[in-house]
């Protein structure tokens, strides 16, 4: 099953079945409530006009305003964005923050656009979705190939249209444009808190070396690699879209980041052994961290996975068929809706600071994040023991119950 929206539906169905959840609103929480489809015209540097296809999917707002990133990627498509929006609803419910789920996408390769063209595309996209977004309606954020600068253009365009400075209309902004301290590292930091808590409470059978491989050395992947390196984990392999490197003795992710920036991609780093993205996934490591895109661990390669723990920093990297195989092999999969929820949690903090006109210190952000991630990890671990199920199934059981409760309340 390689359609991510089908995967999301299967994940919901499995949890409903395991916990025997019954509600007339089940069908409501499976489908997006609204989909906005836009064609964004952009005058390019050569004077020609190009039209970019974009969308905003609003999955569910029973627990609060829709919340979720915007992806700029040449291969993004409606089913992917619908899946990502669905996962956001259950992610926000898993960590208990007062948001629903949404997601946006634009079919574009931002690497081919100049900064001016990218700015025009972002502003054009905002103009076309402005009626359905806003601090109390739907609050976007960065995702794959979108940056704090893009979020700053987004907030500026929205503020111009509504004629009021409104930083809370989007999160992931740069610090000088209403961003929060700790947002840039939040997804990695949250993943680290979850992993460390889980290692403490579940005592899994991992080696003293705590070896780690990270696929996808972007925003989230680079951060978690650096944070785990600082915490004493041994990072043996990292990759990006160009390929990967593998060093048995361990590597320093900050050094890799410097080289990647200088050379343009990890594949061009000369001094380390090269591996493909596929080989990286099959390495004999304690912890495998997919941090790139969906569907990288499927029924075609799941039986060859040797890692003891998979920490899903990417959204949807493991398909339901692969989940089944991994569970049979006793591989612990820490689900995306818990493992990468640090990002949306600090986005919530950013939104709150904007609304309350406050500025929190990095320590405040970090300690509030730790509290939320520790509690969610404990809750899901206990739920998995109660229902004798995987962590993903447990997270969905918990989250579905919370979303249904809100849905039932507002329909009373």
Question: Is 375 a known active-site residue?
Answer: no
Instruction: Note the helical H segments in 163-230.
Output: 186-202, 219-230
Binding string, residues 317-346; x marks residues near ligand NAD by CB under 6 A: -----------------------x--x---
What is the nearest approach in angstroms of ligand NAD to the Cβ of residue 274?
14
- Nearer to ligand NAD by Cβ, of 142 and 179: the residue is 142
Interface pick for ligand NAD out of 19, 70, 269, 314 (rule CB under 6 A): 314
CB 107 within 8 A of CB 76: yes
- Give the nearer residue to ligand NAD in terms of CB position, either 166 or 223: 223
Stretch 282-311 residues interacting with ligand NAD (CB under 6 A): 291-293
Nearest residue (CB) to ligand NAD, 19 versus 214: 214
- The Cα 99–Cα 406 span in angstroms is 11
Phi and psi at residue 298, to the nearest 5°: -125, -175
Cα–Cα distance measured from residue 159 to residue 151, given in angstroms and rounded to the nearest whole number: 12
Our finding on whether 220 is near ligand NAD (CB under 6 A) is yes
- Candidates 157-165, 233-241, 358-366, 397-405: pick the segment binding ligand NAD (CB under 6 A): 233-241
State which residue, 10 or 147, has the beta carbon closest to ligand NAD: 147
* Number of other CB atoms surrounding residue 183 within 10 Å: 26
What is the smallest separation between the CB atom of 340 and ligand NAD, expressed in angstroms? 4
Cα separation of 42 and 51, whole Å?
6
DSSP letter for 177, please. Answer: G
**Site membership for ligand NAD, residue 315 (CB under 6 A):** yes
**Using rule CB under 6 A, residue 94 touches ligand NAD:** no
Rounded distance between C-alpha atoms, residue 394 and residue 401, angstroms: 11
Which residue shows structure tokens 């977004």? 133
Q: Minimum distance between the CB of residue 313 and ligand NAD, rounded to whole angstroms?
A: 5
Q: Which of 58, 76, 185, 187 binds ligand NAD (CB under 6 A)?
A: 187
Q: What's the closest the beta carbon of residue 290 comes to ligand NAD, in angstroms?
A: 8
- Residue 265 phi/psi, 5-degree rounding, is -175, 155
How many positions of this chain bind ligand NAD (CB under 6 A)? 24
CB of 87 to ligand NAD, least distance (A): 9
Q: Which of 30, 91, 103, 282 is catalytic?
A: 103
User: What CA–CA distances, in Å, run from 293 to 124, 273, 297?
Assistant: 26, 24, 10
Helix (H, G, I), strand (E, B), or coil: what is residue 147? coil
Which region among 6-14, 140-148, 196-204, 206-214 touches ligand NAD (by CB under 6 A)? 140-148
Closest to ligand NAD by CB, 169 vs 337, is 337
> Which residue in this structure is represented by tokens 């929205």?
158
How many residues in total does the chain contain? 412
Task: Give Cβ neighbours of residue 410 (< 8 Å, ≥ 6 apart).
Answer: 62
Integer angstrom CA distances of residue 145 from 33, 73, 148, 155 = 26, 7, 10, 17
Give the interface segment with ligand NAD, choosing from 136-144, 154-162, 322-330, 353-361 (CB under 6 A): 136-144
CA distances from 294 to 104, 145, 220, 327, 370 (A): 16, 15, 14, 19, 26
228 contributes a contact to ligand NAD by CB under 6 A:
no
Nearer to ligand NAD, 16 or 93 (CB): 93
What is the distance between the terminal CA atoms of the chain, rounded to a whole angstrom? Answer: 37
- Catalytic residue numbers read 103
**Residues of the shown chain interacting with ligand NAD in the complex, contacts defined by CB under 6 A:** 142-145, 187, 215-221, 239-241, 277, 291-293, 313-315, 340, 343
């Amino acid at each position: 099953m390689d359609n991510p929206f089908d995967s999301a539906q299967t994940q919901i169905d499995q949890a409903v079945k395991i916990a025997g959840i019954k509600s007339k609103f089940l069908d409501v929480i499976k489908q997006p409530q609204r989909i906005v489809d836009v064609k964004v015209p952009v005058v390019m540097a050569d004077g020609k006009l190009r039209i970019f296809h974009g969308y905003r999917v609003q999955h569910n707002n029973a627990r609060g305003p829709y919340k979720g990133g915007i992806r700029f990627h040449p291969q993004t498509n409606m089913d992917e964005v619908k899946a990502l929006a669905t996962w956001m609803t259950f992610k926000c419910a898993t960590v208990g923050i007062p948001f629903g789920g949404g997601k946006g996408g634009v079919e574009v390769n931002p690497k081919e656009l100049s900064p001016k063209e990218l700015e025009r595309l972002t502003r054009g996209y905002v103009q076309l979705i402005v009626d359905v977004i806003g601090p109390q309606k739907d609050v976007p954020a960065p995702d794959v190939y979108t940056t704090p600068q893009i979020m700053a253009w987004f907030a500026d365009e929205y503020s111009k249209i509504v004629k009021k400075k409104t930083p809370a209309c989007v999160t992931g902004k740069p610090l000088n444009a209403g961003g929060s301290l700790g947002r840039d590292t939040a997804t990695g930091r949250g993943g680290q808190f979850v992993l460390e808590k889980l290692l403490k409470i579940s005592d899994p059978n991992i080696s003293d070396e705590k070896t780690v491989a990270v696929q996808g050395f972007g925003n989230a992947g680079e951060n978690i690699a650096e944070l785990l390196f600082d915490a004493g984990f041994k990072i043996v392999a990292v990759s990006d879209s160009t390929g990967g490197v593998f060093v048995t003795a361990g590597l320093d992710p900050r050094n890799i980041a410097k080289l990647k920036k200088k050379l343009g991609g990890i594949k061009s780093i000369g001094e380390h052994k090269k591996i493909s993205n596929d080989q990286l996934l099959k390495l004999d490591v304690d912890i495998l961290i997919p941090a790139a895109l969906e569907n990288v661990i499927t029924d075609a390669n799941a039986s060859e996975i040797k890692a003891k723990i998979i920490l899903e920093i990417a959204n949807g990297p493991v398909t339901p068929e692969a989940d089944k195989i991994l569970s049979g092999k006793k591989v612990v999969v820490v689900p995306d809706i818990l493992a990468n929820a640090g990002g949306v949690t600090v986005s919530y903090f950013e939104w709150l600071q904007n609304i309350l006109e406050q500025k929190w210190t990095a320590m405040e952000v970090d300690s509030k994040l730790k509290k939320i991630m520790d509690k969610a990890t404990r809750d899901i671990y206990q739920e998995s023991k109660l229902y004798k199920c995987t962590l993903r199934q447990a997270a969905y059981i918990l989250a579905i119950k919370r979303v249904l409760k809100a849905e039932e309340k507002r329909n009373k």
